[in-house]
Amino acid sequence: MSGKEPNAIELRDVEKSFGITKVIQTINLKVAQGERHALIGPNGAGKSTTFNLISGYMKPTSGSIQLRGEEIAGLRPFQINRRGLSRSFQVTNVFGNMTVWENLRCAVLWATGQRYAFWKNIDKLPEVRERTARILEDIHLVGRRDVPAGLLTYAEQRALEIGITIAGGANVILLDEPTAGMSHAETERAVSLIRRLTEGRTLLIVEHDMSVVFGLADRISVLVYGQVIASGTPEEIRGNPKVKEAYLGEEAA
């Protein structure tokens, strides 16, 4: 293995219990750098918990979690974020009474290490302004710049959330069900947005919509009852009898 670049994310024998309930049995997961990797599985399988573990919102009961070869298990979310990992949440996480522009700028400021200072006019910081403007364009919300985020449509809020997640320029992006609740047309737009914004980065995405999963992912891992039962290319996963039985049954038929 020497000389090979480390995986973007690697989980080894990760377990997580809440009290006496072992929610994550033993997760082994490898996400190579530059890969778009989908984590799929039934409700309650432990997908969001896995995201919480990787991003530092929860500590594993045992096991190792590495980001580009560096152990991060037990670090705080902001420390992991500083090491280049950014995540979105299953439930939308924008500041509803801040405008679209302010939400994005806040994320950019945080990422560039600028500290908020009330005596500074932060819109005068050219790099912050330019970066914010670029993301605003990327997520196609230029026309909604000064609208409070809480007044956006649901799909627009999710697009904003993706913008916030990538604003910091993180190399490893975790998206938890970014297209949940979207119409077919909105989903298609969101997928092309995700594809474009994660170009050259590593993406780990939790997604229930199989057309999104099979359209976007280079590799797929299947989580069932807190265990990864298979990892492979979309073709391998589609053809895997264990996966069909445990999860993909109806969709694959």
Ligand X SMILES: Nc1ncnc2c1ncn2[C@@H]1O[C@H](COP(=O)(O)OP(=O)(O)OP(=O)(O)O)[C@@H](O)[C@H]1O
Q: b or e along 60-92 (b: 16 or more beta carbons within 10 Å of the residue's beta carbon)?
A: beebebbbbeeebbebeeeebbebbbbbbbeeb
Q: Give dist(CA 42, CA 40) in Å, integer.
A: 7
Q: Which of residues 124-163 bind Mg ion (CB under 5 A)?
A: none
Site for ligand X (CB under 6 A): which residue of 11, 14, 23, 228? 23
Q: Give dist(CA 52, CA 101) in Å, integer.
A: 27
Contact status: 20 vs ligand X (CB under 6 A): no
Distances (CA, A) of 123 to 120, 126, 129, 168, 234: 9, 7, 6, 17, 44
Stretch that binds Mg ion, among 45-53, 93-101, 149-157, 164-172 (CB under 5 A): 45-53
Q: Give dist(CA 180, CA 207) in Å, integer.
A: 8
Question: Which lies closer to ligand X via its Cβ, residue 48 or residue 198?
Answer: 48
Contact status: 49 vs Mg ion (CB under 5 A): no
User: Helices in 39-122 by DSSP H: which ranges?
Assistant: 47-55, 77-82, 100-112
Question: Which lies closer to Mg ion via its Cβ, residue 41 or residue 60?
Answer: 41
| CB 45 to ligand X: min, Å | 4
Question: Which lies closer to ligand X via its Cβ, residue 49 or residue 81?
Answer: 49
Question: Which lies closer to ligand X via its Cβ, residue 111 or residue 217?
Answer: 217
Stretch that binds Mg ion, among 7-15, 48-56, 123-131, 149-157 (CB under 5 A): 48-56
Q: Which residues bind Mg ion (CB under 5 A)?
A: 47-48, 90
Q: Which residues bind ligand X (CB under 6 A)?
A: 18, 23, 41, 43-49, 90
